[in-house]
Amino acid sequence: MIGRKSIGRASPLLLILVALASFLVTYNLVILVIQNRPREEQTPVVDDPVIQMPTDLKISGRTRRPFHVAVTATDAPYSKWQCRIMYYWYKNMKDKEGSEMGGFTRILHSGKPDNLMDEIPTFVVDPLPAGMDQGYIVLNRPWAFVQWLEKATIEENYILMAEPDHVFVKPLPNLARGSYPTGFPFFYIKPSEHEKLLRKFFPEEKGPVTNIDPIGNSPVIIQKSQLEKIAPTWMNVSLRMKDDKDTDKAFGWVLEMYGYAVASALHGVQHILRKDFMIQPPWDLKLGNTYIIHYTYGCDYSLKGELTYGKIGEWRFDKRSYLRGPPPRNLSLPPPGVPESVVTLVKMVNEATSNIPGWDD
């Protein structure tokens, strides 16, 4: 009787031990299976918007990979004040945790120095020969990059192509992965809708037009060696597009963006597309996890905080209001109800202008 009672009391403990042993065996078996599955069957570590980053690049160890920030500009007042604000926020974010920003260059395609040479690191290049841009000044952009890449000493292995109307919202890491550069997908760049035109520049033997990414050249983080190959093609394709009446009419002010997209596809370069790379007020309402605010669109609102796009608002911020000189310091803040993206933009412009010496000059 005593023996039976002892066995009865021990049974629950024995069952627990058996269950634990079974769990450990099952756990180790699952881990073994996961580790030995083919790489392409493994679940990606992080999902990237639009195009997923190759898994083998995601799980590789990270070492700091600085990139050079490059922005093309003219010597017009309109370009100058935007560059000053952009450079202010670059300096503000450059050395913060998470940043992989390296050096900075304003590529000035006026052919001569201007009065910002001592304030902003600048490399002067020549504009296109007179008349070649046909009044479309953006065609100087790829030509400026060709000259800069050929003549300048660039220490970093990666380059961020940016624009004067970019404001860095937070420290920017290197979003590129090896030979996969990173770009922002623009909703209005639609290669599949322009196949007939694009076949003039992207022949069928190069593959489907879906190989052309829906991007412009900015913002893009790319290996310097890749850009050195793409830039001359980008310039030549853009010039050819401008000379083609049908293509020029169809693409308009985004022609040079299509030029870069086609040129990179011709070189077999595919971009990781990141919707979180930047936002564009007033259409993007919240900051989210973005890195850049691009203020290319006018922001017009009623005093009730209602968007009046296409009609001058009772409150507005539009960079085109300041073609001949900089905006004043301490711009009025938007009325209640205006989205976070617009409010943040105006506050960041005000902070920059209040801290840049000689702003009103």
Tell me the pLDDT tens digit for each residue of 21-34. Answer: 443 333 343 333 33
Residue appearing with tokens 């599949």: 192
Q: What is the pLDDT of residue 63?
A: 87
What's the CA gap between 348 and 88, in Å, rounded?
10
Count the alpha carbons within 13 Å of 58 in the hemisphere toward its beta carbon. 14
Beta strands 272-273 and 182-183: pairing type?
parallel
Please state whether 202 falls in left (phi above 0), alpha (psi between -120 and 50) or beta. beta
Query: Which segments of the chain have a pLDDT < 50?
Result: 1-10, 12-49, 55-57, 59-60
What's the per-residue H, E or C state across 9-35?
A: HHHHHHHHHHHHHHHHHHHHHHHHHHH
Q: What is the pLDDT of residue 2?
A: 40
Q: What is the pLDDT of residue 346?
A: 98
Instruction: For residue 293, give every residue at least 6 positions away whose Cβ sits within 8 Å of its Cβ, in sequence order, or none.
Output: 166, 167, 169, 278, 279, 280, 281, 341, 344, 345, 348
Cis upstream peptide for 282 (omega within 30°): yes
The overall average pLDDT reported for the chain is 87
Tell me the pLDDT tens digit for each residue of 245-288. Answer: 999 999 999 999 999 999 999 999 999 999 999 999 999 999 99
Q: What is the pLDDT of residue 283?
A: 96
Residue appearing with tokens 């065609």: 139
Burial class (CB in 10 A: 0-12, 13-18, 19+), 339: buried
Q: Which two tokens stand for residue 34?
A: 């996961």
Beta strands 220-223 and 158-162: pairing type?
antiparallel
What's the CA gap between 298 and 318, in Å, rounded?
4
Stated length of the chain: 361
Q: What is the pLDDT of residue 152?
A: 98
pTM of the model: 0.83
Q: What is the pLDDT of residue 350?
A: 98
79 within 8 A of 112, measured Cβ to Cβ? no
Q: What is the pLDDT of residue 57?
A: 46
What's the CA gap between 133 and 130, in Å, rounded?
8
Residue appearing with tokens 């404001």: 167
180 within 8 A of 271, measured Cβ to Cβ? yes
Q: What is the pLDDT of residue 25?
A: 38
